[in-house]
Structures are given as C-alpha cells and as structure tokens.
Amino acid sequence: MIALRWIMIIGVAGCCIARAGAQEQRHPKHDYPTAARADFVIGCLMEHEFKHDKLDQCACKIDVIADHLSYDEFDQANTILGVQRNGGMGRANDLFRDTPTAKSIMTRFHGAQADANQACK
C-alpha cells in the first residue's frame, strides 16, 4: 500500500514537472508593473467572454507588446486610446490624435498589437 502511494506521488510529480517544462517562460524586453499586466489580461479576457482557454493567449499578447514598447509608451498609448474613446474635450481630443507624437506612439502600439495577434494564436 505504501509503495503504491509513492508510485502515485512520483507519477503526479512527474506529470507536473513535464507540464511546467512544456510551458515556455517568456521574459519580455520591457518590464511592466504587475497591475498593468493584470489589467491588460483582464480586458483581453473580457473581449473573449472570460473563456479560460484564452488566458494564455491574453498573457502572451501583453508579453509581445512589452517586447515592442516600454511601459511609458504603453501607458501613453492607453491614455490616448482612453481619451479618444471617451470623446475628450473638444480640441483637447485633437491633441491626443493629431500630434506627431501621438501618431507615432499609436503607430507603434498598433504594430505591437498586430504582432501580438499573429504570435499568440
């Protein structure tokens, strides 16, 4: 009986180690605060009706974006998107859409998103 218990424990441990080894550990170029990463993943999961099988895909996407953009650039892009979605305040909205800086950040952000969509299927 004791031998059978040890065989089961070793089998379960081996299974877990094999699964952990199969999952690729990604270390993106830029480090983002945990709260920002979690917020992105939660938003991504919301878009997919919180389907658990999309969790790895959403986590992959923020990693790919973090390979392309520093956290400051990512934060600026999210600020611009937030102002554009909420309508801004008249001419102030133009500053978040029409300036060369805003256009550059959004071009890079959309490029990072496209790469993430391709890499994280």
pLDDT band at 102 (very low <50, low <70, confident <90, very high): confident
Residue 82 domain boundaries: 2-119
The number of beta carbons lying within 10 Å of the beta carbon of residue 19 is: 9
Under the banding of pLDDT at 50, 70 and 90, the label for residue 20 is very low
Residue 118: Cβ within 10 Å count: 9
pTM of the entire predicted model? 0.71
- 44 with 83: CB under 8 angstroms? no
Q: Is residue 13 over pLDDT 50? A: no
Q: Nearest CA to 74 among 27, 121, 29, 13? A: 29
